[in-house]
Amino acid sequence: MRNTVKLTTAALAAGALTFGLSACGSSDSGSASDTSGPLVVAASPTPHAEILNYVKENLAKKAGLDLEVKEFTDYVTPNTATEDGSVDANYFQNQPYLDDFNKKRGTHIAPVVTVHLEPLGLYSHKIKSADALKSGATIAVPNDSVNEARALKLLAANGLITLKDGVGNEATPSDITKNPKNLKFKELEAAQTPRSLDDVDAAVVNGNYAIEADLKPAEDALVLESAKNNPYGNFLAVKEGNQDDPRVKKLAKLLTSPEVKKFIQDKYAGSVIASF
């Protein structure tokens, strides 16, 4: 049976005493001074927690790893919880997102090992192809800076818009130089984009949220990111200084094992792609 705890930002705040932390007493909580307990990893429910639970239930015991998985439904709390020591590690993000997060939040999270890629896709409940988007159509996009830029780059790569030359991971709709269909953009929290599909003409959805919404990226996406030379692989991450925690090293090895690669291939059928 899975021993997974689902937490949102509010739930974490309410449970702060459970973790034995307070605002004035957690300054040293990010250190790797005690590695005797279970390794607590924050993860998005799909596919990250599913992959971790496969490791927990099938590989961890033999490797001598006590693994605890905590699910979070947002893209902020896993990093802040890793920073303050509420959890030991997280598994949900890519390098451009982490770079932006560390810069803006002053956190010190570092990648350990890249595990998989979730291709970003454009989805619709109203049309069957991107070419069918009408003039003035509304497209929902994630509102965090990195994923919004990633969404706009996906649209640009498929000829729907043109972006300024050299635009980076902070691109916004204001960086669009050509918009032949006069597309409009609705900026939403990434988790909300699949829920908006009945209200907009199309939505760009992160792979994990697409899968949670019973969308099959490899089949249902109108356009889908290419996996080739893609910088958005998702990785296991820890607070800087904890990379050498022996529990983290064990998990990193298990997450990049042949068994996990086969699990990803069999379960996700191309909607999630192993990156090792």
Strands 89-93 and 234-239: antiparallel
Question: Above 70 in pLDDT, residue 24?
Answer: no
Contact (CB, 8 A) for 160 and 138: no
Question: Above 60 in pLDDT, residue 19?
Answer: no
Q: Is 103 helix (H, G, I), strand (E, B) or coil?
A: helix
β-pair partners for 113: 236
Contact (CB, 8 A) for 41 and 87: yes
For tokens 């990803």, the residue is 264
How large is the average pLDDT for residues 26-36? 52
Q: Is 115 helix (H, G, I), strand (E, B) or coil?
A: strand
How large is the average pLDDT for residues 163-188? 95
| DSSP letter, residue 137 | -
Q: In 10 A of CB 13, how many CB atoms?
A: 10
How large is the average pLDDT for residues 3-24? 37
Token pair recorded at residue 58: 């099938």
**Residue spans of beta strands (DSSP E) within the chain:** 4-7, 39-43, 67-72, 89-93, 109-117, 121-123, 138-142, 162-163, 176-178, 184-188, 202-205, 223-224, 234-239, 273-274
Question: Above 80 in pLDDT, residue 8?
Answer: no
Sheet-wide strand order for 184-188: 184-188, 138-142, 202-205, 121-123, 223-224
- Residue 265 confidence (pLDDT): 95
How large is the average pLDDT for residues 171-182? 97
Residues 6+ apart with CB under 8 A from 40: 68, 70, 87, 88, 89
How large is the average pLDDT for residues 95-105? 95
- Residue 229 confidence (pLDDT): 81
Contact (CB, 8 A) for 92 and 72: yes
Q: Among 109-123, 171-185, 224-238, whose mean pLDDT is lowest?
A: 224-238
Strands 39-43 and 202-205: unpaired
**Sign of the C-alpha dihedral, residues 108, 113, 119, 125?**
negative
Give the chain's mean pLDDT. Answer: 88
Residues 6+ apart with CB under 8 A from 73: 6, 7, 8, 44, 45, 191
Q: Answer whether the bond into residue 47 is a cis peptide, omega within 30°.
A: yes
